Structure 1
Amino acid sequence: MRLSLLTILTLLLLSAVPARADLRITRDHGGYVTEYKEKYERIRDRKERVIIDGICNSACTMVFGIVPLNKVCVTPRASLGFHQAYYDKAFTFGIKVTSYEGTSDLMGYYPQPVKDWISRNGGLTTEMKKIKNGVDLWKIVDPCPEDF
């Protein structure tokens, strides 16, 4: 079979274009704020979608302030967890020490619907506050379409 020059160039061009991928969050308990900031900025810049299909706690929730909300959705299994930021326990002899600066930075990323929910539920504390699927969650982010 002979391929035309146009066909070959088209195939080469298509293979050079990076494939778009969705990030599916199923069990993310969080971590370092700086790492999540970088991760979500890459996703935002590549215009990828984020599907929250399970646990998204702590720094994971920064997705709502970095990735455009029209690129984020939740399934019926979604659960969000919010708490105050704290210093790495490796540097505090295993004691959880609240970082007020980190907590303020974290709150700065959240869009107003997230801030409103946190405020209605007593603000950020050392204890994890969770939103499970339902009306409160849908006030923040849309449910995923059926085809996810």
Structure 2
Amino acid sequence: MRACLIAAVISMALTATSASATVIISDDVGGKMKDYTTHFQQVRNSGEPVVISGTCVSACTMVLGLVPSDRICATPNAVFGFHAAWTFDSSGKRVVSASGTQDLMNTYPAPVRAWIARQGGLTPKMMYLRGRDLAAIVAPCNTSRAASVSRSKRFGGVRQVDDPNAPRASFDTR
């Protein structure tokens, strides 16, 4: 256990100082749009490439509009999941946020907005972009980029509960 902890700390230190690290996204369930906007703006400003190697749903999908498309690639296992943004009403019930959903749509590049429109628009129900449809929007990773996991930064869901009424793109239950 201690050896694993030490290895994790060393690994984090090495990737945090690497200017040419690759951000790997997999198994990301989303969260607050504000948190993902901040994170992906930092990734954009860093110049780091992004590899989508698994599930990227909800607010995670904002990567498609916040990081330049020429720095994003998707492996054959990549899946994006989209749905309407939501917030809590005064009684604590989850409700669709029209303004949050519009902000989310405004984040996406035109090909993603067009794909969403062909699916009927964003609703509370999750819709998935994968396979050929995904390859038409996000460049497939070449083997050297996908194999760069050893020098990577992994990003998972950011979950801060400081503002319960902030628009979310996630159906995360808390």
> Under a length normalisation based on structure 1, what TM-score does the superposition of the two structures give?
0.83
Q: Letter of the aligned partner of 1:143 in structure 2?
A: P
Task: Establish whether residue 138 from structure 1 lines up as the match of residue 135 from structure 2.
Answer: yes
1:27 alignment counterpart: 27
Q: Conserved in 1, the CA contact under 8 Å of 2:51 and 2:75?
A: yes
2:77 alignment counterpart: 77
* Aligned equivalents of 1:55, 1:34: Cα separation in 2: 20
Aligned counterpart for 1:103 among listed residues 95, 101, 104 = 101
* Aligned equivalents of 1:92, 1:76: Cα separation in 2: 42
How far residue 92 of structure 1 moved from its aligned partner, in angstroms, is: 4.6
Aligned to 1:59, the other structure's residue is in SS state: helix
1:43 alignment counterpart: 43
Runs in 1 of length 4+ with deviation above 4 angstroms?
Answer: none
Aligned to 1:27, the other structure's residue is in SS state: coil
Aligned to 1:97, the other structure's residue is in SS state: strand
> Under a length normalisation based on structure 2, what TM-score does the superposition of the two structures give?
0.71
2:68 alignment counterpart: 68
How far residue 146 of structure 1 moved from its aligned partner, in angstroms, is: 1.4
* Aligned equivalents of 2:128, 2:91: Cα separation in 1: 26
How far residue 20 of structure 1 moved from its aligned partner, in angstroms, is: 2.1
Identity %: 43
* Aligned equivalents of 2:44, 2:88: Cα separation in 1: 27
Q: Letter of the aligned partner of 1:115 in structure 2?
A: R
Of the two structures, which has the highest relative contact order with CA contacts closer than 8 Å and spacing of 6 or more?
2
**Unaligned residue ranges in structure 2 (runs of 5+):** 1-16, 147-174
Name which one, 1 or 2, has greater alpha-carbon Rg: 1
**Unaligned residue ranges in structure 1 (runs of 5+):** 1-16
Aligned residues: 129
Q: Letter of the aligned partner of 1:34 in structure 2?
A: K
